[in-house]
Chain A
């Protein structure tokens, strides 16, 4: 079973629209961590946010906001007033404790295209 599901394969929006990227995860651990990474066309993986399972407060950083809901095992990411530079593939990831390290698993990614 896939541990991290990003049901939206591709999304296209017009600049200045708001867009929400969905992430649903699956874990049996009570302590775990969730992440979002951005992969722009240049290919690198850019860290955006880390959340632990005990902190359900929503977070806002500029035009980005994240909604963590344990009850639905979701960690959704919203971009407000999208810009062309937001065009990228966005990956949600889950980290679970494993032996001497962490089992860090990416979702399949959502490709966001922001059109001018």
Chain B
């Protein structure tokens, strides 16, 4: 069964460092997303991406964050200068369409900022 894959599964980084989280969405999906979940809290929307541009972003997704689809398969989330409060599980997801279609999530990348 097709699935969303994410790397790395866990990354520890020092405050102020740049981090890139990578994702390979399901191959025929057109909409891509990043969500984050701070330990023990709810899953929060960060950004959605369609047709090579951001279609929607939340207030969490400030100038420190950026997304890119550098080639036909990868979808990346970059955090430019990490802060302690960026420590969270980051989920990549994709859906076939954007109209209420099921969003399938990867297994998450756990980011720890020290």
Contact = CB atoms under 8 A, between A and B. Distances in A.
Interface of A: 31-33, 35, 37, 42-45, 47, 50, 52, 91, 95, 97-109
A82 to B, nearest CB: 22
A91 B51 CA distance: 29
Nearest to B91: A45
A42 B10 CA distance: 13
Interface in B64-79: none
Nearest to A105: B45
Interface residues of B, number: 28
B90 to A, nearest CB: 11
B43 interface: yes
Contact of A45 (B41, B43, B55): B43
Contacts of A42: 107
A97 B45 contact: no
A43 B108 contact: yes
Q: Which 4 A-B pairs have the closest CB atoms?
A: A101-B98, A33-B100, A45-B105, A106-B43
